[in-house]
Amino acid sequence: MNKLFSFLYDFVLLFLLFYIVYSVFINKKRKVYSKLKKNDEVRIFIERYGINTKKVSYKKILNAVSIINSFIISFTSTLIINIDNFIYSIIVCVVVLMLLIYSLYEIAGRYFKKMEEKENV
């Protein structure tokens, strides 16, 4: 039970740290909508799911990408910290990283597409 609390504590601290750094320092440069299209993450995200950029709010896409990236980085970092064997930690983290990237961006893309069809996001 102690390991679970330790894992959760590390995860929450890292998530908050990465989210604050991502939001304050990285997103501060992306205030203009034209810079959104230059961002490869967001551009690929929009093209893959066919999201209409005229109906979707820039801030919502940017916030979703920030949360997803912070979650992925903090979860894999927490796994690396808590797995003792270096080789196992790298193997597990690569697999988890690929699964998280694919699944979280897929969920977010479907969510934005569904909200786009209902009304303007």
Over range 53-61, report the average pLDDT: 77
Count of Cβ atoms closer than 10 Å to residue 74 Cβ: 20
Q: Span 111-120, mean pLDDT?
A: 77
| Burial group, residue 4, by CB count within 10 angstroms (0-12, 13-18, 19+) | exposed
The model's pTM is: 0.83
pLDDT at position 28 is 67
Among the ranges 30-34, 62-66, 79-83, 114-118, which has the highest mean pLDDT value?
79-83
Q: Are 100 and 71 in contact, with CB atoms under 8 Å apart?
A: yes
76-96 burial, b if ≥16 CB within 10 A, otherwise e? bbbbeeeeeeeeebeeebeee
Question: What is the arithmetic mean of pLDDT over 7-25?
Answer: 89
Residue 97, pLDDT score: 93
21: pLDDT strictly greater than 80: yes
Confidence of residue 73 (pLDDT cuts 50, 70, 90): very high
Residue 111 burial class via C-beta count within 10 angstroms: exposed 0-12, middle 13-18, buried 19 and up? middle
Q: What is the mean pLDDT of residues 7-28?
A: 87
Q: List, for residues 34-56, the tens digit of each pLDDT value.
A: 555 566 677 777 778 787 777 77
Q: Which residues contact 77 (CB under 8 A, 6 or more apart)?
A: 14
